[in-house]
Amino acid sequence: MLAPIHPAYPATPAQRVETLTPAIGLSHLKLLEAESIHIFREVAAEFQKPVMLYSIGKDSAVMLRLAQKAFFPGPIPFPLLHVDTGYKFREMIAFRDSIARELSLDLRVWRNEQALADGANPVALGTQRCCGLLKTTALLDGLRHYGFDAAFGGARRDEEKSRAKERIFSFRDRAGQWDPKNQRPEVWNLYNARISPGESIRVFPLSNWTELDIWHYILLEEIPIVPLYFAKERRMIVRGNSLIPVEQSFLNSLPGEEQWVRSRLRSLGCSPCTGAIRSDADTIPKIIAELVSFRSSERANRVIDHDTDGSMEIKKREGYF
C-alpha cells in the first residue's frame, strides 16, 4: 500500500466535496475534472488501441487518477506506456513499478535499446540529439511497435508558448509529426477522432489545467507522487546557481562542489538534465506556497527548452510530446 505522502487536507471525502463546491456553480477544479473525464471516455470509445503515456511525474499522476475516475468502477481500459530513456532517477522507476502493482495497471516500458547500447548520452551527443533518440525516436517506435492509434499525454497549455495552441485532439501524420498550420478546428466538446491507417492522435486531457491546478488537485485528492518533489537533504553538485543531482551526473565535480543540500525537483526529467532547487517544501501545501511566490515557469529548469529559440516547437513538429 502506498502511504499518502503528504498530510491530508480535508479529512473525509464529504469534506473534500464541500471544499470543491463554491457557493454558486461548480469550482474550477470540478469543471476541469469533468472535462478531462469526458475526453478519456471519448477516446476509449472512438479509438481501437489507445494508450496513456505515463511519465511518472505529477501531471501523469493526475492523468492516471482522472482515468481511474472516468471508468470507475471498471478498470482503465487501455495500457500505460513509459518511454524510459535509461537516465531516469531510481526513485522514479521504483515509484512507477509500485503504482503499477498497486493499481494492477497494464504498464509497458519502451527504451531505445540500440541507441543506449551505442552509448547515447547528453554529454556525448548534446541535449537535443540525446532527447531526439531516447525520447522522440523511442516514443514513435514504441507507439508503432504496439500499433497504438491514440496516445494520452499530460501536457498542459500553460507550460510553454508553443503548447498554448495545441488542440486537445492533436493530429499526427504517418511519421508521427505535428503540423501547427494543419490542425483540425476544435469546437465545443465535439472531438473528431477519425484517422486513416498509420495516422494517430495525441490527446491532452490536461490541456486546460495550470500548474497550480495540478498541485491543488493532488492535495485534495491525496494523489501519490514521486518523493523527489519533496525537499530533503540530497547529494548535489553545486555550481553557480545550479544544483545538479549527483545521481548519474556526467559532470566531474570539482573539489568542494559535491554537497548535501536541502533541495527538491520541480519537474522530473532525466537525471543528467534536470536541475534541483534549494527548497524547504516537504509537503504539498508548502510546495504550493513556494509555487505562488516563485513566479518562474516550471520548465525553465529543464535544459532542453533553452537550446534554441522555439526549441520546443521544433521537438513537437518532430513528434516529441
Q: Which of residues 227-286 bind other proteins (CB under 8 A)?
A: 285-286
Cβ distance 105 to 80 under 8 Å?
Answer: yes
Distance CA 73, CA 56 (A): 23
Residues 186-215 that bind other proteins (CB under 8 A): 186-190, 192, 194-196, 207-208, 210, 212-213
The b/e string for 225-235 (b: 16+ C-beta within 10 A; e otherwise) is bbbbbbbeebe
Region binding other proteins by CB under 8 A among candidate stretches 29-37, 105-113, 224-232, 246-254: 29-37
Among residues 136, 162, 263, 271, which is the contact residue for other proteins, using CB under 8 A? 162
Q: Cβ(262)–Cβ(278) under 8 Å? A: yes
Amino acid identity of 105? Answer: L
Does 27 help bind other proteins (rule: CB under 8 A)?
yes
Residue from 165, 174, 239, 278 that binds other proteins (CB under 8 A)? 165
Sheet holding 232-239: strands in order across? 242-245, 232-239, 258-264, 277-278
Determine if 4 is a binding residue for other proteins (CB under 8 A): no
Contact pick of 52, 54, 64, 68 for other proteins (by CB under 8 A): 68
Q: What share of the chain is helix, strand, coil (3-state, %, to 5)?
A: 40, 15, 45
Which of the residues 75 through 134 are near other proteins (CB under 8 A)?
Answer: 75
Asked if 5 touches other proteins (CB under 8 A), the answer is no
Residue (84 or 158) nearer to other proteins, CB: 158
Cell, residue 11: 479529512
Q: Which of 58, 88, 96, 157 binds other proteins (CB under 8 A)?
A: 157
Q: Which is nearer to other proteins, 141 or 173 (CB)?
A: 173
From candidates 5, 41, 49, 232, binder to other proteins by CB under 8 A: 41
CA 37 to centroid of chain Cα atoms: 17
Q: Could you tell me which of 11, 28, 14, 4 has the C-alpha nearest to residue 216?
A: 28
Residue nearer to other proteins on the CB measure, 33 or 59: 33
